[in-house]
Structure formats: C-alpha cells, structure tokens
C-alpha cells in the first residue's frame, strides 16, 4: 500500500535508520525547501502495516519565462550569436504554457530496498501516478545509491567489511530497472555525484594517522600554534558572521550562494543537535566557518567559507578537524565531504581546488553515485533540459 505519511516521527525514524536514508529526505529538509517556493509531500510504502519504503517529493512550478531566462538576453547572446532572435521565439512558445513548467524532484531518494525488483517497480509506478495527478512535466530522482566505491588507499581494500559496504548495491541491476521503467540518465545533477567519506568508526588516532595526510596534520598543528580558536555558533548573530565569510568566498571563487535568510531558516528548522556552526577566530576576528549537518549515522560537511587574508594561519584545516571530532563524538559513523570533482577531472575543473583540499582529510574512500534520472511527463521537458544545458 502506498499512502501519505503525516507523522514526522515515524517518517524521520525510518529515513534515519535505512541504509539508503539521507538528510535530504528528512522531514526538516522538506520544511526548509517549503520556505523557498517548493511544495512538499511524503509518502510511505507499507507491507502488512510495516513501513518498508518512503519518499519525500519536492515540487515546484517555474513561472512563465523564468525557465527560459529570456529577460537577460545578453546571457544567451554569449552562447549563440543568433540568440537575440531566438529568444523571442522561445518566449512566445512559453506563452502557451498557462502554468509554466512543473518539476517533481526527489533528492537522494526514494528510500527503499533497491534490490527488490518488484518493490522498486511498484514504487516508480506510484511516483508516476502522483506526478500525473499533479500535472508535472518532469520527474527527477537522485537515488542515494552508489555507482562505484573506490578505496584510494590500496592497503585498505581487503579490510572493507560488509557493514561498510552496505549501501553498495548492484548498481547495474538498478540502472537497468530504471531504464526499463522509462527513466533516462540526466546530464544535470542537482546534488554532487562524487564525494569522499571518512570512516568515523575508527579511533581518533587512526583517523589522525591514516585518514589525514601529513599536510593536513601539519596545518592543524600550525593553526593551534598561531593561536586560532574554534568555537560553536550559538545564535542568529553567528549565522550572520558566517554569511559575511560566505560572501567573501563567493567573490573570491566566483560562485553563487543562497540568501542569508536561507541559512537562518536552516538553523531554525533543524534541531540544534543536528546542525552545527563552527567559527574559527584569530584575535577575536572570525576568519573561517563551517556548517555541519548530522542525520542518523552520517555527518555532512554542508557549507564552508573563509577569509583568504588569514590563509597563512590555516584555519580551514583546523575547523574541518574539529567538525570531524564533533561528528565522531555524536556517534556518527560516516563523515561526508559532500561533493568533489569527478575522478580524472581536468585541472581547470571548478571543484579541483576544493577537491585537493578535502582529499587531505580522506585517504581511504571516494564514492560515485548513480546520479540523476529523469522521467519526461510532457513535451516541455525537452525544452527544459536544453535550457538547463545553456544555463550550466
């Protein structure tokens, strides 16, 4: 039976304890997205009154024109010389859409046993029914399923036990089933397809010696010697201080960031025991920050920022180490660095710098997920993905 779940405790308990569960499928993540234009619904798959699968839908209707981005003609012009002509034609086409473009998105979900072919098929069928009822133009899912788990430290390969490998499911079987049910691989992923993780079941000394490389250990000691202090944020004022650092990082790295209100809502919606803000200080000045999100047995390095003027003090190394220790103290088993450049990426990849930094804390495991999968619900989908490519 597939039915709506309205009990937050039952839903979160299932997501937290499932091997394919993730914070992006948590009740709180849905509440956060609701504050910024998304609609949320949660459904469960019950077998004899036992919950065996769950999913959180995020749906959003892009207004007319906003998907096309035609107001900024010069942005399109840099991609195509004839875009000023084409822009009006596409805009006229979208005028025919009385309700814009609607997407039904499932980040790091659905959460179920992907090894069960019948359950997977039934689940996908129910998702399609709901999408049809909502008149969605696209279903996009990004399952929390590993495509490849590489042990970067070859000496540790034989020591990888079954528990550590529990989310490594037969990805070829899953991909085959997704294709058989009409889903196709998307070239656009909203969530990172590659990441690195630290095994927190190891002792603190083992993590220090075997996960961190010599550069990371040296810089952590350097920050301590130079007088850098790490404290946990306590209030909205601290969130504001983090945002100032985030803005400096944006200007330096030329990246897009969310509004200050987004981070305030993140801390107000998630329980205090699940979201942590770390601030690195030097002579009472905030010089680096990190947001750690914990859910179930996993800790996520969600956002990090710094003031490059204090780069020589190595505060970013020290703050990551403190976050790892905090996650271990809370009983987490995995520390997820939440996004790195794909293996073999070119040197000019935009994430290459941060990947080099993160790898200094993670000598063992690199994970590649199966990525995003689309099920087109209308002809608008083909225009939408074309425009996504342009925007990217």
pLDDT digits (tens, 9 = 90+) for 215-243: 999 999 999 999 999 999 989 999 999 99
Q: Is the pLDDT of residue 160 over 70?
A: no
What is the model's pLDDT at position 99?
A: 57
Q: Name the helix (H) or strand (E) containing 148.
A: strand 146-151
Q: Is the pLDDT of residue 139 over 70?
A: yes
Q: Is the pLDDT of residue 83 over 50?
A: no
Q: Regarding predicted confidence, which is higher, 392 or 70? A: 392
Instruction: Tell me where in the chain the CATH 3.40.630.30 domain(s) lie.
Output: 2-63+100-189+371-391, 197-369
Q: What is the pTM of this model?
A: 0.86
Q: Distance (Å, rounded) from C-alpha 8 to C-alpha 4?
A: 11
CA dihedral 126, 176, 56, 372 (to 10 degrees): -130
Q: Distance (Å, rounded) from C-alpha 288 to C-alpha 360?
A: 18
pLDDT digits (tens, 9 = 90+) for 107-120: 999 999 988 888 89
Q: Is the pLDDT of residue 365 over 80?
A: yes
What is the model's pLDDT at position 62?
A: 80
Q: Is the pLDDT of residue 84 over 80?
A: no
Q: Distance (Å, rounded) from C-alpha 5 to C-alpha 1?
A: 12
CATH label, 197-369, candidates 3.40.630.30, 3.30.70.2740, 3.80.10.10, 3.40.50.2020: 3.40.630.30
Q: Name the pLDDT band for 392 (thresholds 50, 70, 90).
A: low
CATH class of the domain whose range is 2-63+100-189+371-391: alpha beta
Least-confidence region, from 88-97, 230-239, 329-338: 88-97
Q: Is the pLDDT of residue 74 over 50?
A: no
Q: Is the pLDDT of residue 156 over 70?
A: no
């Amino acid at each position: 039976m597939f039915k709506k779940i309205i009990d937050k405790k039952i839903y979160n308990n299932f997501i937290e304890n499932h091997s394919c569960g993730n914070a992006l499928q948590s009740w709180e993540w849905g509440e956060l997205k609701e504050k910024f234009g998304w609609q949320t619904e949660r459904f469960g798959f019950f077998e004899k009154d036992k919950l065996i699968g769950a999913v959180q839908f995020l749906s959003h209707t892009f207004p007319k024109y906003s998907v096309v981005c035609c107001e900024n003609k010069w942005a399109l012009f840099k991609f195509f010389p004839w875009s000023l002509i084409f822009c009006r034609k596409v805009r006229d086409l979208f005028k025919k859409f009385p309700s814009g473009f609607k997407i039904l998105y499932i980040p790091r979900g659905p959460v179920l046993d992907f090894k069960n072919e019948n359950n997977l098929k039934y689940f996908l069928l129910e998702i399609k029914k709901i999408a049809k009822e909502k008149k969605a133009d696209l279903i996009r899912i990004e399952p929390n399923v590993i495509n490849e788990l590489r042990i970067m430290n070859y000496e540790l390969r034989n020591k990888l036990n079954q528990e550590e490998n529990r989310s490594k499911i037969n990805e070829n079987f899953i991909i085959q089933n997704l294709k058989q049910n009409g889903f196709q691989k998307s070239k656009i992923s909203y969530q990172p397809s590659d990441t690195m993780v630290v095994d927190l079941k190891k002792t603190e000394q083992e993590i220090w010696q075997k996960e961190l490389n010599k550069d990371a250990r040296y810089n952590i000691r350097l920050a301590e010697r130079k007088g850098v202090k790490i404290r946990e944020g306590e209030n909205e004022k601290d969130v504001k201080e983090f945002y100032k650092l985030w803005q400096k990082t944006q200007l330096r790295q030329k990246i897009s960031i969310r509004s200050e209100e987004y981070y305030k809502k993140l801390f107000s919606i998630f329980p205090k025991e699940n979201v942590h803000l770390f601030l690195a200080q030097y002579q009472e000045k905030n010089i680096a920050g990190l947001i750690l999100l914990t859910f179930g047995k996993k800790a996520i390095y969600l956002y990090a920022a710094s003031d490059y003027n204090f780069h020589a003090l190595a505060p970013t190394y020290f703050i990551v180490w403190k976050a790892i220790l905090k996650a271990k103290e809370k009983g987490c088993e995995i520390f997820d660095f939440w996004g790195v450049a794909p293996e073999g990426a070119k040197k000019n990849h935009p994430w290459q710098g941060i990947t080099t930094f993160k790898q200094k804390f993670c000598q063992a495991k690199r994970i590649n997920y199966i990525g995003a999968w689309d099920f087109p619900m209308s002809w608008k989908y083909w225009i939408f993905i074309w425009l996504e490519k342009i925007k990217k």
